[in-house]
């Protein structure tokens, strides 16, 4: 079962989070794996952003690390103040594991530079 984690995002900022996948206390080797993550307004709702290892939103390390990165211009465009997400890893054999899931809270940006 996936772990639950609440993401708090400040709109208009660079989002960077690093996770580490451990199994029995040891890092999972993510060599050859891919990952995908979607942030939506609700389950089945409007897609706010898709991250994966192809578009550079997710970076996997051989030491079990998963770097999540969202550019500030992406979060600036969001009008929703909350949403949901999940993050899945696909190993080299095609097995899919949902690692984390949960709610997203978006703190509205006041200073826009305009």
How does pLDDT run along the chain (114 residues), one tens digit per residue? Answer: 899 999 999 999 999 999 999 999 999 999 999 999 999 999 999 999 999 999 999 999 999 999 999 999 999 999 889 999 999 999 999 999 999 999 999 999 998 776
Place of tokens 């208009």: 12
CA–CA–CA angle 98, 101, 102 (5° rounding): 170
Q: What is the CATH number of the domain that holds 50?
A: 2.60.40.10
Whether residue 22 is contained in a domain is answered as yes
Farthest CA pair distance, the chain: 50
Task: Give the number of residues written for the chain.
Answer: 114
- What residues form DSSP beta bridges with 36? 52, 88
Instruction: Give the Cα separation of 1 and 96 in Å (integer).
Output: 12
Nearest to 49 by CA among 1, 106, 111: 106
Q: Judge whether 72 lies within some domain.
A: yes
Q: Which residues pair with 4 in a beta bridge?
A: 101
> Domain of 97?
3-107
In a domain, 113, yes or no: no
Counting the structural domains of the chain, the total is 1
The pTM assigned to this predicted structure is: 0.91
- Does 114 reside within a domain? no
Classify residue 85: in a domain, yes or no: yes
What are the φ/ψ torsions at residue 83 (nearest 5 degrees)? -175, -170
- Residue 112 counted as domain residue: no
């Amino acid at each position: 079962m996936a772990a639950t984690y609440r993401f708090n995002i400040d709109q208009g900022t660079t989002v960077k989070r690093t996770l580490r996948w451990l199994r029995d206390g040891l890092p999972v080797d993510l060599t050859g794996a891919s990952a995908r993550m979607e942030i939506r307004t609700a389950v089945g709702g409007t897609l706010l952003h898709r991250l994966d290892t192809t578009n550079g939103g997710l970076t996997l390390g051989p030491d079990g690390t998963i770097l999540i990165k969202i550019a500030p211009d992406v979060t600036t465009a969001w009008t929703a103040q909350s949403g949901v997400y999940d993050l899945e890893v696909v190993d080299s054999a095609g097995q899919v594991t949902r690692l984390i899931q949960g709610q997203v809270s978006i703190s509205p940006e006041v200073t826009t530079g305009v």
